[in-house]
Amino acid sequence: MEKLVDLVLHPIRMRIVMALAGREMTAQQLAESLGDVPLATLYRHINRLTEAGVLAVASERRVRGTLEKAFTLGSQGAFIDAQQFAAMSREEHLRYFTTFMATLLDDFSRYVKNPEPIDLLRDGVGYQKFPLELSDEEFAAVATGINAAIVPHMSNQPTPERKRRIFATIVMPDRATKPLSGAHHEEETPDTETE
């Protein structure tokens, strides 16, 4: 069976999953949201995600003699648990991370290339790297704080005043710099000459 991460980390399927996070949508609504995806392609990806249990049919109704389905994320969602994540090989991580970065680049490209005027400050757009010196305990506290800030809003439903935003996290050790040796570091002071 295809690995969940292989299934989801496809640019179009990732966009479908992101569009459905926290809400229900019909195929027609998804087609409007993902306007650049051909309808036949969209249906093919919806079917693959549904067969794998990533998507579920939330409701069905008859519309002009056709059965219209509304989709939502399935009970397992599109998330990989910690054991599956740890079991992946280095090559798999590199491949998945590359795909993940490509989907972010695609998201940002579509935002910037939108023919409507954009205002990065008003839209809250930002991308930064924060190198932090953290013990394992401090890192756990930071991660807990980030989750506490974001998780309560993941079930927000769309309203006219809300704008859908993408928060992406990437955390990794910085192997480019070596840790300082020793527990205490004395500050170097310039040599001074006395007369």
pLDDT the model gives residue 192 = 43
Residue 24 domain flag: yes
| Residue 139, domain member (yes or no) | no
For residue 167, being part of any structural domain is answered with no
Identify whether 165 is part of a domain.
Answer: no
- pTM for the full model? 0.66
Instruction: Choose the most confident range, by mean pLDDT, from 46-55, 60-69, 95-104.
Output: 46-55
Q: How many residues does the chain have?
A: 195
Domain of residue 41, CATH code: 1.10.10.10
> What sign has the CA pseudo-torsion 38, 43, 46, 48?
negative
Give the separation between CA 28 and CA 39, rounded to whole angstroms.
9
Q: Is the pLDDT of residue 188 over 80?
A: no
Look at 188 and 106; give whichever has higher pLDDT. Answer: 106
Residue 1: its pLDDT value, please? 42
Residue 155 makes CB contacts below 8 A (sequence gap 6+) with: 22
60 in any annotated domain: yes
129 has pLDDT over 80: yes
- Which is more confidently placed, 71 or 182? 71
In a domain, 40, yes or no: yes
Answer yes or no: are the C-beta atoms of 22 and 157 closer than 8 Å. Answer: yes
The pLDDT of residue 191 is above 80: no
Give the position of tokens 């756990």: 140
Q: What is the residue-averaged pLDDT of the chain?
A: 82
- Confidence at residue 31, expressed as pLDDT on a 0 to 100 scale: 92
Domain presence at residue 49 = yes
For residue 24, what are the domain limits? 4-126
Q: Is residue 148 part of a domain?
A: no
Report the pLDDT value the prediction gives residue 193, as an integer from 0 to 100.
Answer: 43
Q: Report DSSP state, residue 67.
A: E
- Over residues 22-50, the pLDDT tens digits come to 788 899 999 998 888 999 999 999 999 99
Domains in the chain, number: 1
Q: Report the alpha-carbon distance of residue 70 to residue 23 in Å, rounded.
A: 10
